[in-house]
Structures are given as structure tokens and as C-alpha cells.
Amino acid sequence: MRRRIAAANWKMHKTAEQTRAYLERLSAQPLPSGVDVVIAPPFTSLAAAAPLVRASGLALGAQTMHWELQGAFTGEISAPMLLEFGVRYVILGHSERRAYCGETDASVNRKVKTALDQGLVPIVAVGETLDERARGETAAKVMRQTRAAFEGIAATALTGVVLAYEPIWAIGTGQNCDPAEADGVMATIRSCVAGLADTPILYGGSMNAENVGAYVSRPNIDGGLVGGASLDPDGFAALIRNAA
């Protein structure tokens, strides 16, 4: 039985003060025990989030990290720095990092290896653009990204990872991917690398409290990586309840 996960990817939203207010509000609401909830705030809010996340049984995530443990990498954050705040999950290879910050299949692979070595759970994001989808290249794209992310990693180690299928055209657009179509892509992802049978795969791309149920009822979909709909604590609580 795979775990069900609702992960909030706040992107570049919320100061430390806003983070505290959000988490106080979220933790005041009844949340189902069957869903692992991950909150991935900006780095600057990790310290504010850590005690509140811990007290309410949620898990802390980060939105990226460097593959080296330390060194001359101005502006970067390493796994030990995240671990110091109690971070458990780290999103790697998000399409915005690939598009705007030079993230490549090769750097994602290095980061996944470091995350696993350091005891962090990588949430590896893959997905196609609208043009790639129109050209019928979705399967080829996500298989390439998935194989590259896990290259050189033993199949037995993949029980420690989480995947996210995020069609780029669905992110932040309000145009979510049909759950049946997403499930089909996830079946492709699950079977393209040995060892992913028990790996949770999340859907991401305009997921909200209303549509989450249609995703998690599909055989390959184990939850969501949620951007916009995670920013309001009441809305995200409703999404978590509907994911149970």
C-alpha cells in the first residue's frame, strides 16, 4: 500500500511571519491521518515553519538544494543546511527550476543521489510542455527525465523517493490535466525504471480541493504537489481532507 501525500509547494510566497500565521491556521483544523502533509516554504521561512510543522505532525520540505554538501556556490543551500531545520523532503527538478534556473537532467540526478545519501526524500518532478504534448512526445519526455533522474541509483533505493508528474501546461493555468490522462502518463513513468512499483507518484498542475478526489481515485496517483491551491490554509486543509 503506497502512502498518500499532499505536498504544498509555496514557490516564492510567504514571509516568515505569513508562514507562522498560515501554519497556526492550518493546524487548528481537523486533518485526516491517512495523508502525509508536506509544507515546502521558501528557505527563509524554514526556521519559522519548523517548530509549528513538527508540533502538528506535518513534514517540512524544501523547494530545491545543491548537490554538494558545502563549497563556493554563492546563493545555494545544501542538504546538511536543510537537515538542520528538520527538512524531510526536497523538491528536485521542478519545471520552473529547469526553465529559469538552469536545472538539467544531469544536475537533478546529482541532487537525487545527494538527497538519498543524506537521508532526504527527493520529490522528483517531470512533465511535458504544451508543444511536446501536441507533438505526441509526452511519454518520451517523462521517460527520459525519469531515467536520467535515477541513473546510477539501485532499484532498491527507489523506495525512498517520491515522483511528481506535472504537465507544464497545467501548472498555474487553471487548466488541469484530465485525471485519466495523468494516470496513463504515471503508468508509463512507473514502468520505465525498475523499482518504482511502490513509489508514490503525485500529480501537479492546477490541483485543488474540488478536483483532488478524481486524481487520487486513480490507480497510479498517490496525491498532489500543489502550488496555488496550497497558499490558503483553509483551502489546503479542504484539499487534504478530500485527498483522504
Where on the chain is the footprint of ligand PGA (CB under 6 A)?
9, 166, 171-172, 204-207, 225-229
Which residues in the chain belong to E strands, given as ranges?
A: 4-9, 35-40, 59-62, 87-92, 121-126, 162-165, 201-203, 223-226
CB of 220 to ligand PGA, least distance (A): 18
- Chain residue whose CB lies nearest ligand PGA: 227
* 128 is annotated as an active-site residue: no
Q: What is the 3-state secondary structure (H, E, C) of 10-72?
A: CCCCCCHHHHHHHHHHHHCCCCCCCEEEEEECCHHHHHHHHHHHHHCCCEEEECCCCCCCCCC
Mark whether 17 is an active-site residue: no
Q: What is the identity of the amino acid at 204? A: G
Nearer to ligand PGA, 61 or 204 (CB): 204
Q: How many residues does the chain have?
A: 244
Closer residue to ligand PGA in complex, CB, 64/206: 206
Minimum CB distance to ligand PGA, residue 98 (Å): 11
CA distance 227 to 70: 29
End-to-end CA distance of the chain: 14
Q: How far is the CB of 194 from ligand PGA (least distance, A)?
A: 27
Cell of 114: 545527494
Catalytic option among 13, 84, 166, 210: 166
- Phi, psi (5° rounding) for residue 151? -60, 130
Name the minimum Å distance from CB 219 to ligand PGA.
22
- CB-nearer residue toward ligand PGA: 9 or 107: 9
Give the C-alpha separation, 133 to 127, whole Å.
10
Minimum distance of ligand PGA from residue 95's CB (angstroms): 7
Catalytic choice (94, 96, 103, 128): 94
Element (H, E) at 219: none
Nearer to ligand PGA (CB atom), residue 175 or residue 191:
175
Nearest distance in Å: CB 77, ligand PGA? 19
Is 92 strand, coil or helix? strand
Nearer to ligand PGA, 38 or 87 (CB): 38
Burial of 149 (0-12, 13-18, 19+ CB in 10 A): buried
Kindly tell me which of 9 and 220 has the beta carbon lying closer to ligand PGA.
9
Catalogue the active-site residues: 94, 166
